[in-house]
Amino acid sequence: MQRFDPNQLAVRSGHFIHGRLVTGDADASRDVLRPSDGQAYAPLPMAEADLVDQAVDDAYVAWRDGDWARRPPRERARVLRRWADLVEADAPTLAPLEAVGSTRPVRDALAWDVPFTADGLRFFAEYADKLGGEVAATRSDNLGMTIAEPYGVIGAITPWNFPLVMASWKVGAALAAGNAVVLKPSELTPFSVLRLAELAVQAGLPAGLFNIVQGDGRVAGAALSRHPRIAKMTFTGSTSTGAAIMAACAQHGPKPVTLELGGKSPQLVFDDAPDVERLAGIIAGAIAGNAGQVCVAGSRLIVQQGIAPALVKAIARRFAAYRPGPTWEDGPTLPPIISRQQALRIDAIVQRAADAGATLRGGGPVDDVCGAGAYYLPTLIEGVDAGNPAVLEEIFGPVLTVQTFATEEEGLALASHPHYGLAAGVHTADLNRAMRAMRALSAGTVWINRYGRSNDFVIPTGGYHQSGIGKDLGRQAVEANQRLKSVLIDFGSPV
């Protein structure tokens, strides 16, 4: 399916507790809007603290009284692999469900989001029996060891930009490690994960081990973070919200957190970078993909003076070729902004950048694409300094700032950001320079002569500084869902 009629799509709404859909209080529901055209397409029940209590308590009992944590890890892995197979086979249902209410075009959801979600679950399944502790060096008549055990119930809060993928990162790692999970998806994109949870139960996951509560961060998210039976929280989203979650976990625990937060990632280009046209495609895609609504978006182009004119011109041509349109159509290449409010925020930052002396090159808001949908054309901003709002603030839209430099040292200094350190790109034909830059850049991920994630799930993702704490993906993600118990055994003297 490469296109569909959004008005004919069946959408099931509710919470998901103990393996079944729970409709919730209709009087406490909120309409969810399609970002492509601004139309309401389904009501969403909004959980209060008592329903969060019910979901967490159900997950705790299912984990405590069930055998999931005590099963041989390979048996947990088999369930996760069956789940992945069901997800992949369900692409004709999942992809339009993901696309209709998000910024993910159905074409991309079919080709990337759903297969990536399935492969992520398979990766975590493969790691279920790979971690378990260590034997420590102690006296010859002693045995010392560490044993990895699940926490119990993990609380997860996921963002709206990649609903299925982000949920699979959180839930897959937690379940592989033997935990239960209570997930609160974004209230802007709440429905595709319900289908994901149904498929988990079909795959054999015991009821209650994966519960979903719908609602906003102020009520449902806060109640989840504070709940005494939530042993650990994991969150992807803004730095300000992450700080609030961390504070709640400190005050009502304390309990550990994994936080993947904001970014303002540089793409550092040296004069010797080969093939300007190919490079322009990489850089344009790294900021215009998903209309810039990606935490690792390469939003700051820092380019050496010699290559700068040709590269900026080539990027501008790429930007001009993007065509906005709804997520359920074949032709568009630029999806909507998640909401009109967010589009206005993007434009406000761009205008403040211009007021501070920057030059805008193309782009900007466009309002006549599809009803009341919000779209923003890819925008270049030149003539900025380190204090410009467009350089400092995470815009979360298809806006690329341009700064030029003369020397390697100057380029590395510009690439540094006072707050964020999520990701960075380096483009050069000089391997020694690439390695120096990689070492110098303070970022959780550095891509060299490429930009963006691939299906290399073994590579973890996470940021430095205000971009987060801990890692998603990789063995590190599974380890983060386990705690270590130290054991000492004395067998030297007979009893």
Asked if 355 contacts 389 with a C-beta cutoff of 8 angstroms, the reply is no
Catalytic residue chosen out of the listed positions 98, 260, 394, 479? 260
Residue written as tokens 């319900």? 194
First-last CA distance in the chain: 71
Is 260 an annotated catalytic residue? yes
Is 75 an annotated catalytic residue? no
Q: CA distances (Å), 312 to each of 217, 400, 402, in order?
A: 40, 10, 8
Euclidean distance between CA atoms 24 and 460, whole angstroms: 37
Starting at the edge strand that comes first in sequence, how are the strands of the sheet with 423-427 ordered? 359-361, 379-382, 399-405, 298-304, 265-269, 423-427, 445-448
Residue 53 CB contacts under 8 Å (≥ 6 apart), including other chains: 223, 227
Helix (H) or strand (E) holding 260: strand 257-260
Q: Could you give the maximum distance between any two Cα atoms of the chain, in Å?
A: 85
Q: Which residues of 313-322 are buried (b: 16+ CB within 10 A; e: fewer)?
A: ebbbebbeeb
SS3 361: strand
Asked if 493 contacts 159 with a C-beta cutoff of 8 angstroms, the reply is no
Asked if 346 contacts 40 with a C-beta cutoff of 8 angstroms, the reply is no
Pairing mode, if any, of strands 379-382 and 399-405? parallel
> Pick from 199, 156, 149: which is nearest to 177 by CA?
149
Pairing mode, if any, of strands 399-405 and 298-304? parallel
Helix (H) or strand (E) holding 212: strand 210-212
Euclidean distance between CA atoms 270 and 426, whole angstroms: 8
Euclidean distance between CA atoms 35 and 370, whole angstroms: 10
Catalytic residue chosen out of the listed positions 198, 295, 394, 479? 295
Query: What residue type is 474 in one-letter code?
Result: G
Euclidean distance between CA atoms 328 and 242, whole angstroms: 32
SS3 76: helix
3-state SS of the chain: helix, strand, coil percent to 5?
Answer: 40, 25, 40
Query: What residue type is 339 in one-letter code?
Result: S
Q: Is 185 exposed, middle or buried (0-12, 13-18, 19+ CB in 10 A)?
A: buried
Query: What's the token pair of residue 401?
Result: 């700032």
Euclidean distance between CA atoms 43 and 403, whole angstroms: 45
Catalytic residues: 260, 295
